[in-house]
Amino acid sequence: MHLYCRHKRRRVRPRLSTLAAVGFMAAMAVLLAEPVRAGSTTPDLAALKARYARPAQIPYPADNPYSAVKSELGRTLFFDPRLSGPSTMSCASCHNPSLSWGDGLPNGIGSAANKLGRRSPTILNLAWASAMGWDGRADTLEQQAVGPIQAPGEMNQSMPKLLTTLATIPGYRDAFEAAFPGEPVSEKTIGKAIATFERSVVSAKAPFDRWIDGDETAIPEAAKRGFVTFNTKANCAACHSGWRFTDDSFHDIGLPDADLGRGKIVEGVDLLMHAFKTPGLRNIAGRGPYMHNGSIRAMTAVIEHYDHGYTQRASLSTEIRALHLTETDVLELVAFMQTLTSKDPAIELPTLPTEAMN
C-alpha cells in the first residue's frame, strides 16, 4: 500500500560516500543453493535479499548540493545550544548521537522542561526520506530544520534574534560566507546547512548487510529464519520495506491513543486517521521505547502488538491482521532485528565558534 506515499523527483548527485558499493551479486550463486528452512515453503531467498541492497551514495537535492564546508557548518549548528532561546538546548539534546540520534525517552522534553506530545525519532538515514515527522508535516529536511528552533515547546528561539546572534559571531559569519558565498545568514541558509549535515548521518554496515553481501557467517541461523518470517508470515515487509526498512508512507497500526497523526495534516481521508510514518528499523534494538508515543518498551512486545494486540477501528491498516506467530517466530524476528545494529563511527563534537570580545 503506497497510496499515501509522496514520490518526489530529486536529481541525485553522485558523490563518493562512506557507503561501500554493494557487492551482493557475487553471493547470489551461493545463496540460490542454500534455502533457509528446508522442507517449508521457502521463498526465493536470493530475490528477497536483493530487495535489501544498500545504495552506493547519498542523494543530495539539486537546490542544495553537498559541500564539505556546508555540512561542517550544519554539524556545528546542530550541536550549538545558542540555537535555542534559553541557550540550553541544541538539536542534539533530543537527537543524541550516542542514543542512535534519539533521546531514549517516551516523549521529547522541551527547553522549559516541558513534555512534548510525541517521541523524538532518530534522524538516521533521512537523506532518502520523502516526508519528515511522525505525521509527515514537512516535505524536506531544509523545511523541517527551522521548525524546532522556533517552536515554543521545543527550542523557543526567535529567528530574528538568532540571525543577529549568528551574524555577530565571527566564526559563524565566516563559515556562512564559505558555505553560501554572497548570501546573508538567513532562515533559509540555516535550514540548508543543517539539512546537508543531516543527510550525512547514515547508519554504517550492520551484520545484516554483510549477510546480504554474501557472508553466511555474519548473522545467526535464527536471524536468517527471522528475516524470512519478517517477509512472509509476519507481513512486516508490507510496510518496513527496502534497506532502510520503511515505505515512507503512513499507516494506522492500531495503537490505542487519541493522536490522529497524519489525519490532522491531510483531513478527510479515513485511512489516515491515527496514521503515522513507518519508522525505519536500522539500529532498532537500541532505540526504544518504541512508537510515536514511546508506549512499547520491548521488541517482543512490539511483535505481540502486531500479532494480536492492536486496536480494531475503521482506520486500521488492511495490512494489520492476526498473525498466529509461535514463540519461536517471535524470538527469530527479534534475532533478525538485532542484526540491523551497526557500529557507527563516533561523532566528533564540533568546536563551537566563540563570540567576539569587545
The footprint of ligand HEC (CB under 6 A) covers: 83, 89, 91, 93-95, 108-110, 116, 118, 120-121, 123, 126, 132-135, 141, 144-145, 148-149, 154-155, 194, 198, 234-236, 238-240, 251, 253, 255, 276, 278-279, 281, 284, 287, 290-292, 302-303, 306, 317, 319-320, 333
Q: Minimum distance from CB of 25 to ligand HEC (Å)?
A: 28
Identify the H or E element spanning 231.
helix 221-231
Q: Minimum distance from CB of 63 to ligand HEC (Å)?
A: 18
Q: Minimum distance from CB of 98 to ligand HEC (Å)?
A: 16
3-state SS assignment for residue 337: helix
- The length of the chain in residues reads 358
- Sign, Cα dihedral of 206, 60, 137, 6: negative
Q: Minimum distance from CB of 229 to ligand HEC (Å)?
A: 8
Reading the block at residue 358, the C-alpha cell is: 569587545
Taking Cα atoms as reference points, which of 69, 152, 68, 167 lies closest to residue 114?
A: 152
Q: Minimum distance from CB of 33 to ligand HEC (Å)?
A: 28
Distances (CA, A) of 217 to 28, 74, 214: 15, 39, 9
Q: What proportions of the chain, in percent to the nearest 5, are helix, strand and coil?
A: 35, 5, 60
- Sign, Cα dihedral of 157, 130, 212, 282: positive
- What is the CA angle 258-129-207, rounded to 5? 100
